[in-house]
Amino acid sequence: MRRILMIILVAGFISASCGDDATTSSGSTSTPAGSTTTAEVTTTQESTTTAEATTTTTTEPTTTTAPPPGAYQVDAIETCVIGSTPGSQVNVRSGPGSGFDIVASLAEDATGVHTTGWAMEDSGGGVWRQITLGQETPWVFSAFLTQGACTLGTPTDYCSNEAACTDVPNVRTGLGIAYDVVATLPRNAANVAGTGATTQDDHGRTWVQVRYQGDVGWVAGWLLTAEPCSPTTCVPPALPWLITAGGVGPIAVGGSIGDLDYLTGLTWNWQEPGAEDCLWAGTPSMDLYLQADEGTVVDGIWVEDPAAAITAAGIRVGDTRNELNTTYGAAIVDVTSDGYAGIAVWVDLNGNGTADMIAIFDGPGLGRPIESIRVPAILKEGGCL
């Protein structure tokens, strides 16, 4: 019987060692004696998209395998998998390095992964953590495990809360902006399925693991409210909105056009006047127009309503060119034709040496009023270019 069990165990290890994979370390540990050498790519992930057995919970055995020379002690904690490519799996290896055999894998949303308290660096300086897997103690690249305790609770649905109106509720592969965004929750999101896993980042802030549109990832917990909850309605700031180098009031250049109704409290009528996927929008209540070159995010904003927006220095549509010169003389980068018998004055709002706003006048002369203000400073007429 013992011989049969050993044969099964060895066969399982061999079958799990197939497939390509990549590691976040800058180098790989040399293959130990008796293991199979495979070609591996040094990129950004120690994960594999091959179909392998997944483990979502591990148990702590009564004894642990002695760590290899060079290992050092750390806290033995319960962790969750973070940072894995959506739909892929994290490799579990026989030793602390990408040159060791793959013996199993962890799912992208694995929770309850117990670390033994041993860690080790590979030849490239990447840190690996020893975990318990059944009665074995294999190794996982530490970038894919939470660095603190991961709380496993009852799966709960969430809504975006008011904080998400000013802080984008991204779904990330890990805790913080260093990790990839796999999806973005609507500002009025509801019924967002939590897995039950929560953890804290290095600043002590709570993150929540969710499933959204087929992806699994982490959302800043301060942007979510657990059910029972209702979708949030974002209340826009009072008019006139502030014109900045990056947008007008709640409308940010690069922001999703799907969020605009909730951020501004206005209804935007989108049209396709030019090329496919080139969208242009106005709102009935004011002369404020938007452009989306790729049909997904705001690329340009122009204001033709004196009551709609104002710069931090107090300039708005209707002010004269003389007033603009007096206020922004040192920040004016260029004065040229707008191509329609008018004058375009290019202004550097944030002092970085590059124009980020244009004031358009219907002709020369210091007494001419501003007809429109545009951010960023790009002239686009008649649809997207």
Residue 174 backbone phi and psi in degrees, to 5: -155, -170
Mean pLDDT across the chain: 81
Burial 290-302 (b: 16+ CB within 10 A, else e): bbbbeeeebbbbb
Q: Is 11 buried (19+), middle (13-18) or exposed (0-12) by CB count in 10 A? A: exposed
**CATH class held by domain 241-375:** mainly beta
Say yes or no to pLDDT of 385 above 60.
Answer: no
Say yes or no to pLDDT of 279 above 60.
Answer: yes
pLDDT of residue 61: 35
Architecture per CATH, domain 153-226, reads as: Roll (2.30)
Q: What is the tens place of the pLDDT at every residue in 311-365?
A: 999 999 999 999 999 999 999 999 999 888 899 999 999 999 999 999 999 999 9
Q: What is the tens place of the pLDDT at every residue in 219-270?
A: 999 999 999 999 888 888 899 999 999 999 999 999 888 888 888 988 899 8
Assigned fold of 2-28+42-62+76-144: SH3 type barrels. (2.30.30)
Q: What is the tens place of the pLDDT at every residue in 39-85?
A: 222 233 344 433 333 333 333 333 345 677 889 998 888 888 988 88
Most confident of 79-83, 155-159, 295-299, 339-343: 155-159
Q: What average pLDDT does range 11-29 have in this prediction? A: 33
Say yes or no to pLDDT of 1 above 80.
Answer: no
| Contact (Cβ atoms closer than 8 angstroms) between residue 273 and residue 382 | yes
CA–CA dist 140, 25 (Å, integer): 12
pLDDT of residue 178: 85
Q: What is the tens place of the pLDDT at every residue in 82-109?
A: 888 877 899 999 999 999 999 999 998 8
Which residues belong to CATH 2.30.30.40 in the chain? 2-28+42-62+76-144, 153-226
Which residues belong to CATH 2.60.460.10 in the chain? 241-375
CA–CA dist 326, 330 (Å, integer): 9
In the chain, % of residues over pLDDT 90? 48
> Would you tell me how many other CB atoms lie within 10 Å of the CB of residue 68?
15
CA separation, residue 329 to residues 7, 147, 325, 335, 372 (Å): 82, 52, 5, 11, 18
| Contact (Cβ atoms closer than 8 angstroms) between residue 78 and residue 132 | no
| Contact (Cβ atoms closer than 8 angstroms) between residue 90 and residue 50 | no
